[in-house]
């Protein structure tokens, strides 16, 4: 991973995160999806001179980039390699039992998309990998080549909301009989030939939803999200806040339902600060294309 990628990374809804989490001097905060370190840097600056920030990420490349970017903050910043579904365990391993605020910025980072070797994007040639945690063995190529046609269609429909899921799954199965499908460009070509011609020239590239669904399947993103939210709430001190940024409707639905369930329980553990999600301003959407679909929901832990 080229460390110059950190210069390209612009954290989404940065000011809103700092304001909604009530970040202040001396507090302890967690960036549970640290990525290139954009939100972590903002947390560190807003909590100066003595605030502590714990950064957690499962991606080795992200760990390296964040470590280099934030080395100026010394011991105020601690970095842990792990998945946010074990957030409480990760943070407690650093000797911290409770925190004042947590941010989770879900989805894929621009530095992951821009690296062809990671295989997340159909825009460039690369292996069908898509693993966020490269310690796991199952890659996107395994899903594509080893999964039944019925299950592939289910993945594309449920995780990508792809209208031509069955046609694409059929095209994949027919092609892999001849030879394994191992690259991003090979999969993109199959998708293009499997869908109607008018679908190929739509506003959204015809491969977008399939690639999204594969990434979700490989990394179990929706499965870990609810557990990660529960872990985050366990870590919060009373009055502490959790903010989650999502980028597609499946994630946002899980966050919304999880927040509602905790707020409406017989003994509520949290309160929702806003009924509707916070979205980027027109200015931010214009300056940072990645922010266009972002939604930010926030809860505050109550004393039980």
The superfamily in CATH containing domain 5-111+221-301 is Vaccinia Virus protein VP39 (3.40.50.150)
Assigned architecture for domain 118-219 = Orthogonal Bundle (1.10)
- CATH 3.40.50.150 range(s) for the chain read 5-111+221-301
State how far Cα 31 lies from the chain centre: 12
Q: State how far the Cα of 59 lies from the Cα of 9, in Å rounded to an integer.
A: 16
Which residues make Cβ contacts (< 8 Å) with residue 194, sequence separation at least 6?
164, 167, 168, 170, 171, 172
53 forms beta bridges with 29, 77
- CATH 1.10.150.170 range(s) for the chain read 118-219
pLDDT score for 9: 67
pLDDT score for 171: 98
pLDDT score for 272: 97
Q: Which of 8, 135, 134, 2 is nearest to 68 (CA)?
A: 2
- 10-residue averages of pLDDT along the chain (304 residues): 51 96 97 94 97 95 93 96 91 93 88 90 95 92 98 97 97 97 98 94 91 95 92 96 95 96 95 96 92 96 87
Instruction: Give the pTM.
Output: 0.91
């Amino acid at each position: 991973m080229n460390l110059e990628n950190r210069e390209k990374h612009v954290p989404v809804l940065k000011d809103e995160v700092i304001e909604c989490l009530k970040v202040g001097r001396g507090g302890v905060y967690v960036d549970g999806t640290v990525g290139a370190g954009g939100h972590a840097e903002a947390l560190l600056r807003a909590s100066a001179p003595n605030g502590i920030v714990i950064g957690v990420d499962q991606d080795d490349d992200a760990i390296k980039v964040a470590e280099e970017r934030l080395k100026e903050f010394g011991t105020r910043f601690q970095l842990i390699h792990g998945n946010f579904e074990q957030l409480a365990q990760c943070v407690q391993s650093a000797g911290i039992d409770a925190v004042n605020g947590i941010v989770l910025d879900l989805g894929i980072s621009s530095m992951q998309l821009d690296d062809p070797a990671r295989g997340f994007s159909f825009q460039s040639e690369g292996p069908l990998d898509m693993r966020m945690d490269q310690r796991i063995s199952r890659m996107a190529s395994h899903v594509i080549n080893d999964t039944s046609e019925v299950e592939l269609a289910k993945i594309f429909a449920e995780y990508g909301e792809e209208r031509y899921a069955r046609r694409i799954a059929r095209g994949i199965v027919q092609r892999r009989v001849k030879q394994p499908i191992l690259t991003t460009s090979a999969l993109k070509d199959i998708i293009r030939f499997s869908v109607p011609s008018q679908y190929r020239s739509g506003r959204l590239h015809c491969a977008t939803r399939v690639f999204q669904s594969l990434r979700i399947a490989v990394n179990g993103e929706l499965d870990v999200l609810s557990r990660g939210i529960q872990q985050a709430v366990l870590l919060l001190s009373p009055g502490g806040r959790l903010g989650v940024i999502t980028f597609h409707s499946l994630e946002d639905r899980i966050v919304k339902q999880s927040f509602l369930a905790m707020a409406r329980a017989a003994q509520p553990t949290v309160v929702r600060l806003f009924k509707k999600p916070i979205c980027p301003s027109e200015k931010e959407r214009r300056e940072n294309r990645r922010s266009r679909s972002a939604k930010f929901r926030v809860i505050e832990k109550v004393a039980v």
